[in-house]
Chain A
Amino acid sequence: MIFHSPAYLLFLAGVFVLSACAGRRRWAVLLLASAYFYVSLGSPHLTVALALVTGMSYFAGIGLTRCATETGRKRLFVLGVVANLLVLVFLKYLPFLSNALNALLGFVSPAVSVPEPGILASIGVSYYVFQAVSYLVDIYLEVQEPERHPGYFALYLAFFPKLLQGPIERAEALLPQLRIPYTFDYDNVRAGLLMFSIGLFKKVVVADRLAFVVDAVYGDVHAHAGIPTALATLFYAFQLYCDFSGYTDMALGSARVFNIRLTPNFNGPYLATSVADFWRRWHITFSRFILDYIFRPLQMRYRDHREYGTALALLLTFLVSGLWHGAGWGFILWGLLHGTYLAASVFYRPYRKRIYDRLGWEDGAGRRIWQGTATFCLVCFAWIFFRANTVSDAFYAVTHLWDIRGAAPFFVTMGTKLAIGTLLIALILAVDVLHGRMDLVSRLWAMPRWRRWAIYYALLLSVIYRGADVAVDRFLYFQF
């Protein structure tokens, strides 16, 4: 079941009641609920994959503390990480492998073929495999003790609010919370339901509406050029942000109801003043993972090459980032673009302050707007490769961005959707700007009751009245 469905709300309420009554066995109720949640997706192999990753990581984690020699310890660590990554590689590349196998079988016997799994064949796997890898790395580095209770460990990986799209939780952040005895906390329930509602709004009201324009252009890139493509890319930037951050809000809200605080994954990413700053604000748990477990080791290994070593480490890290998102050249090019942006900044950064000083441009609102705009343009340019159906579509879009012919019919057919989308984007940006300056939730709680409930009803009605056409009935980041 998906978050924005009535079935999920009933499920959440039921699990809340049962877990509240379960006392010390709360972990078992949450674990069974998480298993049911995953099984409900209708892909049995996913449950097997989760069980396999859980078992391998649990025993590897304990084994790391019992190894007699450092060599044995290192071998077990490598084995555990590689085994987990193999599960991810096998499931993520399953469609590609079945297509390749069918192509081969077509030469041998056209009547024979293997089933072709759909795009959701690996849903959730990318996230909990990375989480398991981070667990093993932290134990190997001796900054984390292994969890010896199999139930708590299984729940750490499978906890249903974060199972399908993260956040990728560190053991030190989540495991202790799972052990805390439950007591009803009205503030947490209230905050959780509010976060969930905001996430729902972002997903069904904003993201799904922006998708109309995005899909119209990217569904037939060659029929559009210039301004329509640029607008569709801008809309896609916010569609993806609202879709993913909307899911994250719903995940955090669901967990909060159980007094569990998951790690926020977004912090106003389009307010970033550099690409490095963007990655501190976008998919935060994933960027921390690649920073701590890929970039830092590579940077240390190549440190004798100074800036060139750091630049190479960044390129390789973001190549991995692209591959994590999918087995496609579009994702790889997207990752390499970000790697190139960051690698270039290694060389450019020492001169940046001098350039601004020479231009007499002090650190103020004007400079931040310029930096923010430039960063947003760079990020959007990379999104073209991320969103386009094929690499050739992406290159067509990129090479025709300055083509203004044929823009008028687009505005005629999409005028209303563009206008509504623009207003929604402005709303999202305004909330992000305000959220960076004040605690909006505390302000909400401090409002008079009538104003608070007016906002609640506005959220609810906007979610209910989202229109008959639903462009995207699932979350975009399910596919990664």
Chain B
Amino acid sequence: MISERLKQVILKTLELDDFDFREETIAGDVPGWDSLSHVKVLMAAEAEYGVRFKTVEVLRLRNVGDLQSLVDRKVG
């Protein structure tokens, strides 16, 4: 389940009005989410939740569900 908070972070970063994010949603499914904007999304999530991702943790991410799980683990 993708939280509304994370959803808003992604929408704001990518300048989208709305998108139906699911656990299995990948970057390629989302308009404007490419390799250049990917790091902006991650940094926005870091700023929103007050966490710092490790490079290895980010490289393991396969979809938005993984990002949500990572955020949840970091926030504890």
Tell me which of A19-27, A204-212, A296-304, A435-443 binds B: A296-304
Quick check: is A131 within 8 A (CB to CB) of the other chain? no
- CB of A296 within 8 A of CB of B36, answer no
- CB of A291 within 8 A of CB of B35, answer yes
Residues of B within 8 A of A346 (CB): 36
Chain B 37-72, CB within 8 Å of chain A: the 1/0 string? 011001100000000010110111010000000000
- CB of A141 within 8 A of CB of B39, answer no
- CB of A297 within 8 A of CB of B60, answer no
- CB of A141 within 8 A of CB of B55, answer no
Quick check: is B23 within 8 A (CB to CB) of the other chain? no
- CB of B35 within 8 A of CB of A142, answer no
- CB of A143 within 8 A of CB of B35, answer no
- CB of B60 within 8 A of CB of A142, answer yes
Residue of B nearest to A291 (CB): B35
Residue of B nearest to A143 (CB): B60
A142, A276, A296, A300 interface centre (most CB from chain B within 10 Å): A300
- CB of A300 within 8 A of CB of B55, answer yes
- CB of B60 within 8 A of CB of A303, answer no
- CB of A303 within 8 A of CB of B42, answer yes
B27 to chain A, nearest CB (A): 11
Quick check: is A149 within 8 A (CB to CB) of the other chain? no
The answer to whether A301 and B55 touch (CB under 8 A), given A143-B60, A143-B62, is yes
Give which listed residue, A297, A310, A349, contacts B59 with CB less than 8 A: A297
A144 to chain B, nearest CB (A): 11
Give A276 to B38 CA distance when docked, in angstroms.
Answer: 14
- CB of A276 within 8 A of CB of B36, answer yes
Chain A 286-302, CB within 8 Å of chain B: the 1/0 string? 00000110011101110
Quick check: is B34 within 8 A (CB to CB) of the other chain? yes
Give A292 to B62 CA distance when docked, in angstroms.
Answer: 11
Chain B interfacial positions (CB closer than 8 Å to A): 34-36, 38-39, 42-43, 53, 55-56, 58-60, 62
- Report 8 cross-chain contacts, Cβ distance below 8 Å, ordered by A residue: A142-B60, A276-B34, A296-B35, A296-B59, A299-B39, A300-B53, A301-B55, A349-B36
Chain A interfacial positions (CB closer than 8 Å to B): 141-143, 276, 291-292, 295-297, 299-301, 303, 310, 345-346, 349
